[in-house]
Amino acid sequence: MSTESGATFELVVNGAGRTVVDDGRSLLDVLRDDVHARSVKDGCSPQGQCGCCTVLVDGQPRVSCVTPARRVQGRTVTTLEGVDAGLRERWATALTDSGGSQCGFCTPGIICRLVGLADKGGDLADSSVVGRALQAHLCRCTGWQTIVEGAAIVAGEAPASTAPPRTGATRRAEMEGRTPQLVGAEIALGAAGFADDTAPVDALVAVSDGAGGWAVAPSLAEARRAVAKVQGRRTTASVTPPLELPAGPWVRTLRTSWAEPGYLETDASWCLPGGEPASPLANGGAFGAKQASVVGDISRRLADEHGQAVRVLLSREDTVRMGPKRPPVAAGIGVDGTGTIRVARTPGIADAIHLAGPELRVEEVDLPGPPTSATIRSAGWAEAIVLLAGLRGEVGQVVHPEGGRASAAVVDGVIRVEVSCGEVLDEIVLRSYCIGATHMAYSWVTSEGLAVAGDGTIGDLTIRSFGIVRAIDTPPIEVTVTDDAGPPVNGSDAVFAAVAAATWLDRGCPQDWPTG
């Protein structure tokens, strides 16, 4: 059938024929807005870089946010909902048994990718094969290794869990994620109750106009057209630490760059008139980066103004421009353990630094650039831990203010971690969070950073420009968990700081991060 403006075309989605209006929308828009396939997630649209919207088109994995719907006319589209029920359950169980899904936002697209890989003869038991397939995806929570292990379970090369009912899993997940969190097979299938998945289908959609206002329209595509949204770009400028070192007789110095939290689910909320807005935290708190998200208040205000439900959605570019960053530091420490940490002015950051280094002087400075937050995972505290470890030449045992303890070392290319955080509750969940914290710390030290101009303008607006280390580039991680019979406390934040220190030491303590 003709695909001229106003025409329609046919395609098959999960076994059912669909007639689609040819209005220029992406396949992602059609799947979410027309088919209501909620497993298909929007993590960067229309950048095509996170893999969360991956589906199968005639059995081949396809990133749907950069696929014009008209390009798949007459073809068969399979979302995770349409994958064979037995196979879908097998994947969900395997990833739950391996700890390969935490928030569950990226997992449906990853499952679709690996289902397509296996259908074409790809060996799911081969970690290098799976790692290469995962290059099309990003996962911020799990550190990749547990996903690869889950694929091996599906392949039958690794045993499924024989553990008793996991009554402590949710409690441990909430402790590590610091927000209400669900654990179970349905999470791996993307059914974690994310705000944009639970909104009424007839809700209006609001997007930022980039000037402090909000464009409201019947659909996301129309709202984005109203603000003339364009795909974000990556600058050619290099990532450079923005602060100069304080003067002093230092034996160790450290400068970090702007760092993007890089969570996959962009901020979203919805509200009915006179109601309470849906939480943007959903099944994950973005490791502290969403604590002050504006979308809930905006959805409440707009719903009251328009007299009907309103969804508020930030694009990936919006989260980069508006979301809080880890504050950059420039620090030096002397042989006696005293020193100065110069840091972008951030409420609460001095107190966080002093929890680890009470002898360190904190000098807050005004710095043009994106907003910063001390609620981002171990901000300030971890930097002080790293600096002190550099002075000693060893990590030792890192003790979190809440009581979690961890040590880490890089041995023959393997990151080895030991953690003790009271009653384990659920070792699968704890190990998953510790592997995720290890990947996040390693990535932060070696690769992550944003290019920000001297006037504060952010140049890196694509999710791939954040520098998050890929699966194939992540070292093997070994985690040893000790149950010390004490009350359970967070353990992965101590792991994060310990691994950051161990990675820095392994690289010879170069002054500027990312170290490359």
Task: Report the predicted TM-score, pTM, of the whole model to 2 decimal places.
Answer: 0.96
pLDDT of residue 249: 95
Strand 76-78 relative to strand 8-13, pairing: parallel
Helix (H) or strand (E) holding 87: helix 85-98
CA distances from 294 to 204, 301, 318, 339, 391 (A): 18, 11, 12, 37, 40
Q: In angstroms, rounded to a whole number, what is the distance separating the alpha carbons of residues 211 and 516?
A: 36
Closest CA to 384 of 329, 438, 344, 424: 329
Looking at the DSSP assignment, which residues form a beta bridge with residue 363?
342
Q: Decide if 111 contacts 39 (C-beta within 8 A).
A: no
Q: In angstroms, rounded to a whole number, what is the distance separating the alpha carbons of residues 504 and 382?
A: 12
Domain positions in the chain: 8-82, 85-192, 197-230+267-314, 329-506
What is the sign, positive or negative, of the torsion defined by CA atoms of 400, 404, 405, 409?
Answer: negative
pLDDT of residue 1: 39
3-class secondary structure, 515: coil
3-class secondary structure, 114: helix
CB atoms within 10 A of CB 1: 11
Looking at the DSSP assignment, which residues form a beta bridge with residue 478?
416
Q: In angstroms, rounded to a whole number, what is the distance separating the alpha carbons of residues 100 and 361?
A: 41
pLDDT of residue 374: 97
Q: What is the CATH number of domain 8-82?
A: 3.10.20.30
> Hey, which CATH number is domain 329-506, 3.30.365, 2.60.40, 3.40.50, 3.30.70?
3.30.365
List, in sequence order, the alpha helices (H) in 307-411.
316-322, 349-356, 381-392
Query: The sheet that has 339-344: what strands, in order across it?
Result: 252-255, 329-333, 339-344, 360-365
For 286-420, strand residue ranges (E) read 310-313, 329-333, 339-344, 360-365, 398-399, 405-411, 414-420
Q: Alpha-carbon dihedral of residues 494, 415, 376, 50, nearest 10 degrees?
A: -150
CA distances from 33 to 38, 205, 299, 312 (A): 9, 11, 19, 15
Q: In angstroms, rounded to a whole number, what is the distance separating the alpha carbons of residues 481 and 421?
A: 9
Supply 469's token pair: 């280390």
Q: Decide if 20 contacts 9 (C-beta within 8 A).
A: yes
Helix (H) or strand (E) holding 215: strand 214-217
C-alpha angle 295/301/302, rounded to 5°?
85
Supply 272's token pair: 């009915």
Q: In angstroms, rounded to a whole number, what is the distance separating the alpha carbons of residues 426 and 6?
A: 55
Residue with tokens 């705000």: 195
Q: Decide if 287 contacts 441 (C-beta within 8 A).
A: no
- DSSP per residue over 48-59, as a string? --S-TTEEEETT
Burial of 317 (0-12, 13-18, 19+ CB in 10 A): buried
Mean pLDDT of each 10-residue bin along the chain, 516 residues long: 67 97 95 96 95 98 97 97 96 95 96 98 97 96 96 88 78 94 93 95 96 95 91 89 97 97 96 97 85 95 98 96 96 97 98 97 97 97 98 97 98 98 96 98 97 95 95 97 94 98 98 97
Q: 444-464: buried (b, 16+ CB within 10 Å) or exposed (e) per residue?
A: bbbbbbbbbeeeeebbbbbbe
Q: Rounded to the nearest 10 degrees, what angle do helices 85-98 and 145-155 cross at?
A: 130
Q: In angstroms, rounded to a whole number, what is the distance separating the alpha carbons of residues 429 and 441?
A: 18
Q: In angstroms, rounded to a whole number, what is the distance separating the alpha carbons of residues 312 and 310?
A: 6
CATH architecture of the domain 85-192 equals Orthogonal Bundle (1.10)
Residues 6+ apart with CB under 8 A from 86: none
Residue with tokens 């600058």: 235
Q: Decide if 271 contacts 296 (C-beta within 8 A).
A: yes
**How many residues does the structure list for the chain?**
516
